Structure 1
């Protein structure tokens, strides 16, 4: 717990290959007393037998991991089903920290700093970390001088062609962060302040902290309207409430890939470098 609040991390689950890295960071933070539980929200297809078996095996191995099966399959793309998770996120004393299932690095202080900032800034909706390989964050990082513009300039748009779709740019980003992780200098990637995100600015939701009490206060508790998770959190909710999302400068997580980048990243070897780093964490 942090300041009397339960801390629940959760992942819309589909891929063993990357969750097997992420879970090492969850285990670290559980053992440090920062995270109380980790929820695996099953969002899989019927043919993902091996992935599902892996998720259930994790829950059997660790008492702090719990499986939640999605209550229904959205008639649209599978990703639309992630919005149903918030029906289970209405405990008013809990801060929820969401991680995509391809987040492959979590800085030592990331979860604690996200949670403390959400408690402190109760008027905000979602608190975002520096999500490495997130187009809008990459724009902020370039404005702050952390990421070189010589690699290609990123625009302030969540699906910017450079920051979202350019594979060679993503490889450079990951190689830079991995170098800092290996050198113990990730703090040099922090930004000098927190930034309120423009109201209604769409933002890729690979990781953020939010409060159970806010979902409990919805017209139907836990039911997002509109039900698409990213649109609800980054466009609709801030516009309706006038309450901003906040990007904080002292928390870093790494998001592996958007699909246009994937062929370049798969060929680069950076995922296995992240895997090796996760294995070096204290058992």
Structure 2
């Protein structure tokens, strides 16, 4: 509870390799009343991980896909229908939020209550195109050129090389030195524009106005369509920071650079200064190790959900007809092309 408001965190899950770092932040928070893990996966090992976490931490509540179907992002929308409770603040976190500044959840809930006129509020997110744009405009980061404000920017959103440079810049200059607060940029309003909803808060009372029915692309609807129709804006709390691991186009480059493991070391160091976080971090790690030990057999479990056959596109049909060496050669060329386009961050 916070100022008579219930605080419910939720995450569409998910991938245990990321959530080993996210979960301890949430379950160790003193103001979170419930942590809803939206089980949106067929992966038996991930599901076992979530079930063991729920058994260990009473605050964790597993929410099963209401329609009994899992189809990646397309099956997430049904979960929003339950995010409409009165006097409740919801904080939705992507499963690959892998670092939070101390006290982040309470800071964001306070910001939410202090600014009720916005539809969504979000912290400053490391590896989020529009958050990077704010850092650029405030002179917190110096890039090799001007990059415009676009949620799907070809470099700020798509590029794995840029994401690697950005994470390494943040890790080396701000996390390892404990100076992340020097990146704070204050409150920033936004309207009639899409942004990546990696970490967003809303009031259940506001979501209830449309019954939690989110049509189509949830990010487009929640960040842009609905607030535009209502004539309201969204806002960043630029004085609160989280780190988001990767968009799908970036993962290969970040895994090669062991970025996730580097954040893991930062989390371990953070645990040394916070006993409550340390206890949660240790327990989640124990559960993860136990699940990974039996990973192959857990992966053979039958999914509790139906699968959906996605329609084949012309592109996918052509790719299936091409010999593997052609695809491998194309992948190598694309990799070299992106590598040549490094050097985004000057300082």
TM-score, reference length from structure 2: 0.75
| Whole-angstrom distance in 1 between the partners of 2:257 and 2:239 | 28
**C-alpha deviation, 1:141, in angstroms:** 0.8
- How far did 1:74 drift? 6.4
Residue 271 of structure 1 aligns to a residue whose secondary structure is helix
Asked if 2 retains the 8 angstrom alpha-carbon contact of 1:155 and 1:163, the reply is no
Partner of 1:215: 207
C-alpha contact (below 8 Å) 2:122/2:199 kept by paired residues? yes
**Pairwise CA distance, 1:109:** 3.1
Q: Given that residues 27 and 60 in structure 2 are in contact (C-alpha distance below 8 angstroms), is that contact kept between their aligned partners in structure 1?
A: no
Partner of 2:159: 166
Task: Provide the aligned C-alpha RMSD in A.
Answer: 1.6
List aligned pairs for 1:183-262, cutoff 5 A: 183-191=177-185, 193-199=186-192, 201-218=193-210, 221-224=211-214, 226-262=215-251
* Distance in structure 2 (CA, Å) of the matches to 1:229 and 1:94: 20
Tell me what 1:69 maps to: 64
Aligned residues of 2:187 and 2:236 also touching (Cα < 8 A): yes
- Poorly superposed stretches of 4+, deviation over 6 Å: none
Contact 2:191 2:224 in 1 (8 A): no
Helix, strand or coil for the counterpart of 1:222?
coil
CA–CA distance in structure 1, aligned partners of residues 199 and 74 of structure 2 = 16
Q: What's the counterpart of residue 9 of structure 1?
A: 9
What's 2:150 paired with?
157
Q: What 5-or-longer segments of structure 2 have no aligned partner?
A: 279-347
Larger Rg: 2
Report the Cα offset of residue 80 of structure 1.
2.0
- Secondary structure at the counterpart of residue 66 of structure 2: coil
SS of alignment partner, residue 149 of structure 1? coil
Change in CA separation of 1:157 and 1:74 when aligned onto 2, cut-off 3 Å: farther
Can you list the C-alpha shifts for 1:46-65, whole angstroms capped at 9, x where unaligned? xx110111111100111111
Matches for 1:27-42 after TM superposition, within 5 Å: 27-29=27-29, 33-42=30-39
Do structure 1's residue 138 and structure 2's residue 132 form an aligned pair? Answer: yes
Contact 2:8 2:90 in 1 (8 A): yes
Look up the match of 2:341: none
Deviations 1:198-221 (A, max 9, x none): 22x111111111111111222xx2
Distance 1:38 1:263 in 2: 30
Asked whether the equivalents of residues 8 and 97 of structure 1 are also in contact (C-alpha less than 8 Å), the reply is yes
- How many residue pairs are counted as aligned between the two chains? 271
Aligned pairs for 1:78-93 within 5 A: 78-93=72-87
Verify the 8 A CA contact 1:24 1:278 in the aligned structure 2.
no
Give the secondary structure class of the aligned counterpart of 1:209. strand
Deviation at 1:227, TM superposition (A): 4.2
Task: State how far apart, in whole Å, the 1-side matches of 2:147 and 2:240 are.
Answer: 21
Alignment-derived partner of residue 55 in structure 2: 60
Measure, in 2, the Cα distance between the counterparts of 1:177 and 1:159. 21
The alpha-carbon deviation at position 73 of structure 1 amounts to 5.6
Partner residue in 2 for 1:115: 109
> For the Cα contact (< 8 Å) 1:84–1:227, is it kept in 2?
no
